[in-house]
Structure 1
């Protein structure tokens, strides 16, 4: 009995060993890297492998035009010594909160009521306008414009102090040289970007000697240097706000076009324009190194006390940014550009409201239909 079991076990071991040897031989044959007898790998298999190594991320960057508070606007918001601007934005609040990152151009200096609020030609706005923008979903403000020095260095520094107090990122004016050198960078949905801002001038008000950091002026060499420094930080893209162009002109001038070409070739991916106080077109460009770039020449007024239909039409640009990393490297593209036109309405300089243009047109408040303004803005896209 024991011998039979032992003999049977021996046979089983021999069989298992033989089978294992055969399997190992086949496995090594399959692993043979000589390629002499190996069948080619199907193309579909290669494509699948490459797709697995592709990384894609997407974010929507929003931008609005000039926030320029004339006396009729801040007087309408005044309530017992404080200011409540929130009702003015209630009809467009959802549009402001929709993008992943929203940028606003705070044109009238928000130096605070303690310096004395004032209107054209030397603006000073209450702090509360910045508080409202933050509550509405604005993630950063650009502050380089022709009104930055309306209250001198004291006003500019007071505005910066409030930005920092409430945690509102700002760029374009700075508290000192170290602050100016600190390029603002952000990361949204895995897409990193730097935000820069510059203005053509300060309405003839000289920049105080030794305080050039108070406002970034348009200087092509300075801008290219800043763009280069931003790129060296390793960001995926550079966004630049330019206060430029001719007021009340609906199309960019030659200087704007020249700067747009120079700046995008230097590394700017998204250029946002302000100052004309009316809408100008959006243009998609191809740079000398083959990148896609988007230029928004002017977003008009988002909130102001100016009069005239075209001056009261502004809008919200929504730029979809896509980053793809694959075997060819990294690339940024703009698969979708959206624009929501808006209209500032009021009744006898009271009850200021920002409305979607379509709603304003249907109510008979403005003669320009939404389709016409969208067509104007998107004509070069």
Structure 2
């Protein structure tokens, strides 16, 4: 027995280190090639009618029906269209929102990992309330991008390590209520997309330092069905700069999908947790979640239609899903959506 043990030991010692190393490398490569699953949702408001619903039914209420889907993703991300604070003075505008800090518990419950703050409501109650929002997000361990104490903070992407890959989301806005809302060198505010620079430089930087870069942008006209021409041009320039996926918001309506260099552009996901708009009508209640799967250089996506009922996104029946898919096929450019919500290039 002792001789047999010694023989086995000698054989093990004679195995080339390269074989052991290669086996380890193969295992590591397989690990890095695991699919990465992301889910994106549209505008989230926790004030107004939704705020009243939260007061009645609790902080978790807005996300009860969709939390199981969001929680399954490696990363779930949305647009937080409200400052979260008890301080500040309302801006002189038609709609000024401010949500209670405890309402963020709903996002935690739903498994939302991060939010973009680059939108035309984040400074509704001034710089202090915007900075309070960041503080409250940090306390709840929710990531953010798109706003900060200065321009560098505002353009800093939210980055999450998933299956050995760095996935970055960069939040920017081409809809801000005033020039004073734009983040500067020593000025708190939001990341502006009114000019290509420094936005494109930050996208290039992210593309170099991260494996995948998603740009979540606030743009286009409210209640419109189609994007502005500038948005289609800008989306392509962002992809040329290194963006892998473009996700849009602000119109409060669903917009179509376009491919450029085999990369998807979702012009608007519509509302997600929001009030019904009197001006926009019932189409502001039509929504969807976008599922993105990344595996190596392959990026695929599909949509899950939802409908906002009493401030709460709901999964619906086959008839509703068929209607939303038909609508998106009509609104899209060189993209098509099949009966199961899978999106592909025509």
- Shorter-chain TM-score: which interval? 0.7 to 0.9
Aligned to 1:342: 306
Aligned to 2:313: 354
Contact 1:175 1:213 in 2 (8 A): yes
- Which of 295, 300, 304 is residue 265 of structure 2 equivalent to? 295
Offset of 1:223 from its aligned partner? 1.2
SS at match of 2:268: strand
Offset of 1:283 from its aligned partner? 2.4
RMSD: 2.6
Aligned to 2:105: 131
What are structure 1's unaligned runs of at least 5 residues?
1-50, 287-291, 324-331, 347-351, 362-368
- Which of 220, 229, 235 is residue 196 of structure 2 equivalent to? 220
Change (3 A) 1:78 1:114: farther
Q: Give the distance between the partners of 2:108 and 2:180, measured in 1 at CA.
A: 31
TM-score normalized by structure 1? 0.72
- Which of 204, 222, 234 is residue 259 of structure 1 equivalent to? 234
- Which of 278, 281, 284 is residue 253 of structure 2 equivalent to? 278
Contact 1:302 1:315 in 2 (8 A): yes
Aligned to 1:231: 207
- In terms of Rg, which structure is larger? 1
Change (3 A) 1:149 1:211: farther
1:24-173 to structure 2, matched below 5 A, reads 55=30, 56-78=33-55, 84-110=58-84, 112-115=85-88, 121-173=95-147
Contact 2:258 2:266 in 1 (8 A): yes
Contact 2:60 2:106 in 1 (8 A): yes
Aligned to 2:13: none
Change (3 A) 1:177 1:301: closer
What are structure 2's unaligned runs of at least 5 residues?
1-25, 336-343
Offset of 1:180 from its aligned partner? 4.0
Change (3 A) 1:52 1:88: closer
SS at match of 2:180: coil
The answer as to 2:219 corresponding to 1:244 is: yes
Number of residue-to-residue matches in the alignment: 299
Contact 1:100 1:188 in 2 (8 A): yes
Q: Give the distance between the partners of 2:94 and 2:78, measured in 1 at CA.
A: 20
Contact 2:167 2:211 in 1 (8 A): yes
Q: Give the distance between the partners of 1:231 and 1:88, measured in 2 at CA.
A: 34
Offset of 1:53 from its aligned partner? 10
Q: Give the distance between the partners of 2:152 and 2:180, measured in 1 at CA.
A: 21
Aligned to 2:298: 333
Offset of 1:211 from its aligned partner? 4.3
Aligned to 2:18: none
TM-score normalized by structure 2? 0.79
Aligned to 1:306: 276
